[in-house]
């Protein structure tokens, strides 16, 4: 994209850019020569995720919230591309802070989209959670959402992100905003912490310390895990593809596994002696917590549109996550 004055550098805004996925995206944007602004309130993101970037890089970090309408508007106006990743994340955080989660996911996305103008392209990060209890084989973007009762707090995240999608599509249809929506399936990799209930970093850290690996429920729940570098590659390709505008895409890994099998593979890759510890949901979450037995993506639409879909093998992902935590702990 050619900027005024002949400058070929794209001016990019990344909300939530100090987070796990966001910081990896920032790395790639800087590598390709873009000028990047990060907006992050550091509630779940970390300055450490960006600490490795040289001070001379064309990166500006703004500490602030997507709930600050004026700040968001000023940053959006000066950007050609916007990657809206800021959101309330993690099952634990959603259950502990439902009101703030709703505000961030709904009002924050509305602020970003309202500030945009036709010609600006915006990627809106969504989630596989929008499928809810739909356990069909290979979920497609057009499949139904099956959401639980409003009395079950867990479903507010799925519902709020579904509303984000509706909002993004409406801005595209009525205002000509070039929106692209991506539903992430269990994105994992270096820099992800287990603080808010993310399963793989929790398993790996326990395994490296030979501590019991906690498996909630019976461990038969089946998931697909997406390596973060694959997810970033996918969204960059989507943002560069005009046919992706106004569309929704699954972003998920190709390898399905049960949570119990994931724990066994983590233990094997890490060379760990950790026992597996089965924990009833009632001991980990509030009464009435609901989980899905299966959530597997169909990424055919992504492959057809951009010629790419995530394919990093699960054992390789586990190795890279283990190496990351070993490096943080001095090699132990």
User: Pick the catalytic residue: 157, 216, 227, 285?
Assistant: 157
For residue 131, indicate whether it is catalytic: no
**Whole-angstrom Cα distance, residue 180 to residue 168?**
8
User: Where are the alpha helices (H) located in the chain, listed in sequence order?
Assistant: 20-31, 69-77, 91-96, 98-102, 109-115, 155-175, 199-208, 228-239, 259-270, 281-284, 300-306, 314-328
**Whole-angstrom Cα distance, residue 246 to residue 166?**
11
Task: Determine how β-strand 187-188 pairs with β-strand 178-184.
Answer: unpaired
Alpha carbons within 13 A on the beta-carbon side of 104 = 24
Q: Tally Cβ neighbours within 10 Å of residue 181.
A: 25
> Nearest 5 degrees, angle CA 275-CA 280-CA 285?
115
Alpha-carbon radius of gyration of the chain:
19
Kindly state the tokens that stand for 278.
């089965």
Kindly state the tokens that stand for 76.
């959006």
Alpha carbons within 13 A on the beta-carbon side of 47 = 5
> Nearest 5 degrees, angle CA 113-CA 108-CA 125?
70
Q: Cβ distance 244 to 236 under 8 Å?
A: no
> Which residues are known catalytic residues?
157
């Amino acid at each position: 994209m050619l900027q005024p004055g002949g400058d070929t550098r794209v001016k990019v805004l990344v909300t939530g850019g100090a987070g796990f996925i966001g910081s990896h995206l920032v790395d790639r944007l800087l590598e390709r020569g873009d000028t990047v602004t990060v907006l992050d309130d550091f509630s779940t993101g970390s300055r450490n995720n960006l600490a490795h970037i040289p001070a001379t890089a064309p990166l500006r970090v703004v500490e602030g919230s997507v709930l600050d309408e004026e700040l968001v508007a000023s940053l959006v106006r000066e950007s050609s591309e916007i990657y809206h990743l800021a959101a309330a994340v993690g099952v634990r955080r959603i259950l502990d802070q439902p009101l703030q989660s709703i505000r961030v996911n709904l009002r924050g996305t509305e602020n970003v989209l309202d500030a945009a103008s036709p010609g600006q392209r915006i990627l809106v990060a969504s989630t596989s959670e929008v499928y809810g209890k739909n356990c069909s084989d290979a979920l497609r973007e057009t499949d139904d959402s099956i959401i639980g009762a409003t009395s079950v707090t867990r479903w507010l995240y799925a519902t709020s992100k579904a509303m984000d999608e509706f909002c993004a599509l409406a801005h595209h249809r009525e205002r000509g905003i070039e929106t692209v929506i991506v539903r992430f399936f269990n994105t994992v990799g270096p820099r992800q912490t287990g603080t808010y209930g993310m399963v793989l970093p929790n398993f790996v850290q326990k395994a490296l310390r030979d501590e019991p690996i906690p498996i909630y429920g019976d461990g038969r729940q089946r998931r697909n895990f997406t390596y973060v570098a694959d997810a970033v590659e996918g969204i960059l390709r989507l943002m560069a593809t005009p046919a992706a505008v106004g569309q929704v895409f699954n972003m998920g890994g190709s390898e399905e596994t049960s949570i119990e099998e994931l724990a066994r593979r983590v233990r094997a890759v890490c060379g760990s002696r950790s026992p597996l510890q089965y924990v009833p949901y009632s001991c980990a979450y509030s009464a009435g917590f609901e989980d899905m037995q299966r959530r597997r993506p169909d990424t055919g639409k992504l492959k057809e549109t951009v010629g790419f879909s995530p394919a990093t093998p699960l054992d390789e992902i586990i190795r890279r996550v283990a190496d990351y935590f070993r490096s943080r702990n001095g090699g132990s």
